[in-house]
């Protein structure tokens, strides 16, 4: 029931702080130690490579998670679109471990990959919102998202829950493997900070609605740009805008723009920079200026410690691996208000189904 909300999507965006807190209580004990099946950690520790499989938003959550498995658990990790992996399987390592990301647990393309994984007796984990879903039943292990039902076609709280569960797993695996980085990663504290930060962003909706009316209500095209995890979030932010507001949006690695795509920038094209990483902040800022010089209307979503006077949305500071949990929220709201302003059915965009059960 969506209660007083006009659309489920807005309700689900607002539920994200509560989902973060729920995940803390489900997966971290009083001392902040992860509560994760030991045998699963042993199986992943035994593997030489993690393959993450997903589609759409779940694929994007995988792009964020992979960096955490490499940082905190020192395990090489690659992320694959399930519909590609199913038919063009790359050369695999000797001891693969598969992680399936799927809100519904029913996505046909991902199921196709799992059938083959099982034929080869490779161990697997499904991270899903739906207990007893097909992907959950057929994988070796399951971790639940505890996000509550997600009704809107555009995935929001499942994306942030997937990233938080990946963080739990990265920490658990890293501690199992005695990584110092994992030990120092105070996830309980970080997720509490994230929850408060999400709350602050969802409390300032008016500002995002106003940005939409100035910059996004008319243009047919828009760009999100960033580097590293900010690029990963750019892909998700662009997908949100495309699927519910029908603005042709692209998420782009900001350094790649000048290799061709910058030709698309015209007067008034919105270019939104996501800036949360110390090493690349300056570079993304200069890439934004390059587009501004060609007429783009530039907007920024920036972590507080990197913020400058003219920035558009300022995010509370969190661990650099977890910034996607915050930077995606304004992007979800920008997509929501763009769709709303056009009078579209936010929850049920044209041509789309919540769960894609055909290949
Ligand atoms: O249920 P799944 O997570 O497997 O679904 C995958 C995609 O179909 C899904 O994330 C889709 O991209 C959403 N509509 C995005 O908002």
ipTM value, please give it: 0.98
Return the residue matching tokens 């110390």. 278
Residues 26 and 146 sit within 8 Å (Cβ to Cβ): yes
Distance 124 CA to ligand 1 centre (A): 20
Residues 255 and 226 sit within 8 Å (Cβ to Cβ): no
Distance 241 CA to ligand 1 centre (A): 14
From first to last of its 359 residues, the chain has per-residue pLDDT tens of 899 999 999 999 999 999 999 999 999 999 999 999 999 999 999 999 999 999 999 999 999 999 999 999 999 999 999 999 999 999 999 999 999 999 999 999 999 999 999 999 999 999 999 999 999 999 999 999 999 999 999 999 999 999 999 999 999 999 999 999 999 999 999 999 999 999 999 999 999 999 999 999 999 999 999 999 999 999 999 999 999 999 999 999 999 999 989 999 999 999 999 999 999 999 999 999 999 999 999 999 999 999 999 999 999 999 999 999 999 999 999 999 999 999 999 889 888 888 888 88
Q: Which residues line ligand 1 at a C-beta cut-off of 6 Å?
A: 55-58, 102-104, 107, 110, 153-155, 239, 243, 355-356
Q: Which of 310, 4, 351, 5 is nearest to 156 (CA)?
A: 5
Q: Which of 56, 64, 242, 356 to mutate to test the pocket of ligand 1 (most atoms within 8 A of CB)?
A: 56
What tens digit of pLDDT does each residue of 210-253 get? 999 999 999 999 999 999 999 999 999 999 999 999 999 999 99
Most distant CA atoms of the chain, gap in Å:
57
What atom of ligand 1 comes closest to residue 55's alpha carbon?
6
Residues 135 and 107 sit within 8 Å (Cβ to Cβ): yes
The pLDDT of residue 248 is 96
Q: Whose CA is nearest to atom 10 of ligand 1?
A: 57
Q: Which of 8, 9, 12, 58 to mutate to test the pocket of ligand 1 (most atoms within 8 A of CB)?
A: 58
Q: Which residues contact 162 (CB under 8 A, 6 or more apart)?
A: 58, 61, 62, 65, 101, 103, 127, 145
End-to-end CA distance of the chain: 31
- Token readout for 194 is 């994230």
Q: Which residues are catalytic?
A: 354
Encode the chain in three state secondary structure: CCCCCCCHHHHHHHCHHHHHHHHHHHHECCCCCECCCHHHHHHHHHCCEEEEEECHHHHHHHHHHHHHHHHHHCCCEEEEEHHHHCCCCCCCCCCEEEEEEECCCCCHHHHHHHHHHHHCCCCEEEEECCCCCHHHHHCCEEEECCCCCCCCCCCCHHHHHHHHHHHHHHHHHHHHCCCHHHHHCCHHHHHHHHHHHHHHHHCCHHHHHHHHHHHHCCCCEEEEEECCHHHHHHHHHHHHHHHHHCCEEEEEEHHHHHHCHHHHCCCCCEEEEEECCCCCHHHHHHHHHHHHCCCCEEEEEEEHHHCCCCCCEEECCCCCCCCHHHHHHHHHHHHHHHHHHCCCCCCCCCCCCCCCCCC
CA distance 64 to 319: 13
CA distance 13 to 157: 6
Q: Whose CA is nearest to atom 2 of ligand 1?
A: 102
Q: Which residues contact 181 (CB under 8 A, 6 or more apart)?
A: 71, 72, 74, 174
pTM for the complete prediction?
0.98
Residues 187 and 175 sit within 8 Å (Cβ to Cβ): no
CA distance 231 to 56: 15
Q: Which of 153, 147, 142, 169 is nearest to 62 (CA)?
A: 169
What atom of ligand 1 comes closest to residue 60's alpha carbon?
10
Rounded to 5 degrees, φ, ψ at 182 are -70, -40
């Amino acid at each position: 029931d969506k209660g007083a909300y006009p659309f489920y999507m807005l309700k689900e965006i607002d539920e994200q702080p509560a989902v973060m807190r729920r995940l803390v209580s489900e997966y971290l004990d009083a001392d902040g130690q992860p509560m994760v099946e030991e045998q699963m950690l042993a199986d992943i520790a035994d593997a030489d490579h993690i393959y993450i499989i997903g589609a759409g938003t779940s694929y994007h959550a995988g792009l964020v998670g992979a960096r955490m498995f490499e940082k905190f658990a020192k395990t090489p990790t690659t992320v694959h679109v399930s519909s590609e992996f199913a038919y063009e399987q790359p050369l695999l390592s000797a001891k693969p471990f598969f992680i399936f990301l799927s809100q519904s647990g029913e996505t046909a393309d991902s199921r196709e990959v799992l059938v083959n994984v099982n034929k080869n007796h490779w161990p697997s984990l499904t991270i899903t919102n739906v207990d007893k879903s097909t992907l959950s039943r057929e994988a070796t292990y399951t971790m639940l998202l505890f996000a509550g039902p997600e009704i809107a076609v555009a995935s929001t709280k499942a994306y942030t829950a997937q990233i938080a569960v990946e963080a739990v797993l990265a920490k658990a695996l890293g501690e199992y493997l005695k990584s110092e980085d994992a030990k120092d990663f105070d996830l309980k504290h970080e997720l509490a900070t994230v929850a408060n930060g999400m709350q602050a962003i969802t409390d300032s909706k008016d500002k995002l609605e106003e940005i939409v009316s100035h910059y996004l209500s008319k243009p047919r095209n828009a760009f999100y740009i960033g580097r590293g995890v900010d690029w990963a979030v750019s892909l998700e932010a662009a997908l949100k805008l495309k699927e519910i507001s029908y603005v042709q949006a692209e998420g782009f690695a900001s350094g790649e723009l000048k290799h061709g795509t910058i030709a698309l920038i015209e007067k008034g094209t919105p270019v939104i920079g996501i800036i949360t990483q110390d090493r690349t902040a300056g570079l993304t800022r200069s890439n934004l200026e390059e587009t501004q010089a060609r007429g783009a209307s530039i907007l920024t979503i920036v972590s507080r410690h990197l913020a400058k006077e003219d920035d558009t949305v300022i995010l509370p500071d969190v661990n650099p691996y977890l910034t996607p949990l915050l930077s995606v929220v304004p992007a979800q709201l920008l997509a929501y208000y763009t769709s709303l302003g056009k009078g579209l059915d936010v929850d049920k965009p044209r041509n789309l189904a919540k769960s894609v059960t055909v290949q």
